[in-house]
Amino acid sequence: MGADETGLRARLVAAGVDLVLREGQSAVSLREIARRAGVSHGAPRRYFPTHVDLLSAIAREGFADLTAQVERTLRDVDPDPRTRLTALARTYLDFAAAHRGMFELMFRHDLLDSGRLRLRETSLPLFAVLADLVAQARRPTDAPAAVLAGALWANLHGIAQLWAWGSLPLATGATDDDALLRAALDAHLGPAPA
């Protein structure tokens, strides 16, 4: 679990994560990361050939963090799939709001190399958790489980994105995202049980 790994590679990623959380995606330059890690601007190149490689490693950390957070939440939630999906969705939105810069980076596919560094492999488990819960909560007349899960994920993601951008508050007049979240869950999974 080398979280306190002392190698330069790990220090660079840690500095990048810290930076993106604090200052947002646009602050995460190679040179700034190197500065914060206390090395010269050329040093990162030894471990990350390009900027994209370093950003991908940082985003990977973000996906891992989000996944961990979801799993932690789910540990304390009772087994009813609908309840668990609600908790998962709430955690997703909270993550996006709390770590806005990281969330942005995670879905900036133009900045990331999703092929190398197994970035996709880090985000898929989360979807698998969601897909599994959706499969349990699915009603017979619903769309196939994979499609239903995809549509629900897209809805969550869209709410997170547009909410952060300020478009949804403006367009709907809402002051928090809870109504939207409930609407999305009700829509895809059927009305909430009492």
Partner DNA sequence: CACCGGAAGTAGACAGCGTCTACGGCGGCT
Partner DNA sequence: AGCCGCCGTAGACGCTGTCTACTTCCGGTG
Residue 39 exposed, middle or buried by CB count within 10 Å (0-12, 13-18, 19+): middle
Residue 156 interacts, among DNA, a second copy, none and using kind-specific CB cut-offs from 5 to 8 Å, with: a second copy
Kindly compute the dihedral angle of the four CA atoms of residues 95, 97, 102, 103, in this order, to the nearest 10 degrees: 80
47 near a second copy (CB under 8 A): no
For 27, the token pair is 């602050």
x/- track of binding to a second copy for residues 120-159 (CB under 8 A): x--xx--x---x---------x-xx-xxxxxx-xxxxxxx
26 near DNA (CB under 7 A): no
Q: How near is the Cβ of 163 to a second copy at its closest, in Å?
A: 8
d(CA 91, CA 87): 6
d(CA 58, CA 122): 12
**Residue 181 Cα distances to 66, 93, 164, angstroms:** 18, 9, 14
As a residue count, the chain comes to 194
87 near DNA (CB under 7 A): no
- Binding range to a second copy, per CB under 8 A, among 5-13, 49-57, 84-92, 119-127: 119-127
x/- track of binding to DNA for residues 32-71 (CB under 7 A): x-x----xxxxx-xxx-xxxx-------------------
Residues 156-185 binding DNA (CB under 7 A) are: none
**Binding site residues, DNA, CB under 7 A:** 8, 29-32, 34, 39-43, 45-47, 49-52
